[in-house]
Amino acid sequence: MNRQLVLRVIAKLMIPFILIFALYVQFHGDFGPGGGFQAGVALAAGVIFYALIFGLARTRRAVPDSLLDGMIAGGVLLYGGVGVAGMLLGGNFLDYFVLDADTVIGQHRGIFWVEAGVGITVSSVMLRIFYLFADRANLTESERDHPEGER
């Protein structure tokens, strides 16, 4: 779709706003509707939009698979890390009350990092799913791992 000038220009205009909006949903999640899951999906949608217009190969150079794998694992570990931090500070698992001397600030802090973990993992998982499905069509017959029927 390289020659679609209108699409390319509009996409370049819109994608930054999609990404900013994703961040807004992420960080405003404490006070209004939003949170890590929705933000992650919006973020991934922005990148998928880019891939649809500019092609999978270019997108993969911008957001490589290895980064995504790291983010998938890293987000879960961040979430779990907040939980473990609660345990290390003398509370139960996922205990936000002990994260700060002031329990309200502790709650804010806990939710912030947990939602950050959710956002990171959801966005990378969504993108990874997209990559995997989009990539499947490009494989040649020989590259596919044929699960062979027996007998």
Contact residues toward other proteins (CB under 8 A) are 31-33, 37, 69-70, 72-74, 76-77, 80, 83-84, 86-88, 90-98, 129, 132-133, 136, 144-151
Cβ atoms of residues 43 and 120 within 8 Å: no
Residue number with CB closer to other proteins (25 or 72): 72
Q: Which is nearer to other proteins, 11 or 42 (CB)?
A: 42
Sequence letter at residue 102: D
CA angle 30-34-36, nearest 5°?
A: 90
CB of 87 to other proteins, least distance (A): 5
Residue whose CB is less far from other proteins, 62 or 88: 88
How far apart, in whole angstroms, are the C-alpha atoms of residue 150 and residue 50? 42
Cβ 133 to other proteins shortest distance, Å? 7
Which residue type sits at 23? Answer: L
Tokens found for residue 111: 């939710």
Closest approach, Cβ 10 to other proteins, in A, equals: 28
DSSP conformation class of 28: G
